[in-house]
Each structure stands twice: as structure tokens, then as C-alpha cells.
Amino acid sequence: MYFAALLARTEDGWEASDTELDDVETLADLADLAREAAVDDDTVVAFIEQEDAWFGVIRVDGEEDPRVFLSNAAIAARSSYGAMLTDELLGRDEDDATDDLDSLDLDGTEDGEPESDNNVDDDPLEAVNGSDGPPHGPLGDSALLADLGVSDKELLALNGDALSTIADSLGCTEVLEAVR
């Protein structure tokens, strides 16, 4: 189960809105959604969380490219929205993943005979992505909230209810909790 919210900075503080990600297929879609929530092209921070397994923070400042941070890329890559963000951070596009899947020998045979490979990789993500799979840990711009009061070290140390901790630092706990 996902939780997603947009926090738009205004002259009077932060405005939060619960958001549906059903129509979001790319980071560009998510950035467009954030820009729609923006007030006067000011900063919008999008939060995505999946049951305390991982969280993502996406920051959009006007028309600048979005900045992204994932708490654990390997875990996030196993979910649809996390995979979208992970692929973007790793510079992969959907065609790369499709090409990797097309090149796999899914039945493990060549000419109908089983291969004898004692070095079988049990990690399906590693089998698909090869050595350029997502890291087991944080990925992205850990300093994306530094000017808003959350240092990179603080962001990297978060776990559990990270979004509430971030909201506390931004001074918008009440507005975030209102949409939770």
C-alpha cells in the first residue's frame, strides 16, 4: 500500500494534498502533477511511501528538473513507483528493462538441453539488471531538502516514519497528517 502526498510551499507556509498516482507512469508525469499543485512556481515536495519499506522524496522547483531521493533503491525497485524512480536515477528507460527481459533465457535451456551453471544468481533483479542493479541503500540527491532544514546526514539516517520526521523539520506536520 502506498501513501503519496504533495506539499506545496506558499507565502503562508505549506499546503498539503493527498494525491493519486494512478496516472503517473514517469518521473515527468509526477513532476507535472507537482507543478499543478505549486503556488507561483514555488517549491513542491512529493512524498511516496510504501508501508515503511521505503520512502521517496521528489522536489520540484518551478520548471527545473525534479530532484529525487530514495531511502532504499533495491527495495523500491521491486514496486511500480519505486522502480520508476530507481530507473530514472540510474539513467535507465523502459526500453532498457524490456531489452534486458527479451535477452533472458527464461527456461534455462539452449537447444532444449538444461544448462549446467553452478553460479546461478538467485536474485531476479540482478539477473535482469546485471551489475547495474540498484544499490541496497539510499539513492539520489540526499541534499535535496538541505535548504529547507533537513540535512543530507539527517535524511540518510531516517527510517520508520521518515515522512513525519521530515514534515516536522519542514514545519508542516499538521498539514501532512491532515491528508494521511
- pLDDT, position 94: 56
DSSP codes of every residue in 130-172: GGGPPPSS-EE-TTTTGGGT--HHHHHH--SSHHHHHHHHHT-
Per-residue pLDDT of the chain in tens (180 residues, 90 and over written 9): 889 999 999 999 999 988 888 889 999 999 999 999 998 889 999 999 998 899 999 999 999 999 999 999 999 999 999 999 999 999 986 555 444 444 444 444 444 444 444 444 444 444 444 545 788 999 999 999 999 999 999 999 998 789 999 999 999 999 999 988
pTM for the model? 0.78
Rounded CA-CA distance 6/168 in Å is: 15
- pLDDT, position 132: 59
Q: What angle do CA 53, 56, 62 make, to 5 degrees?
A: 170
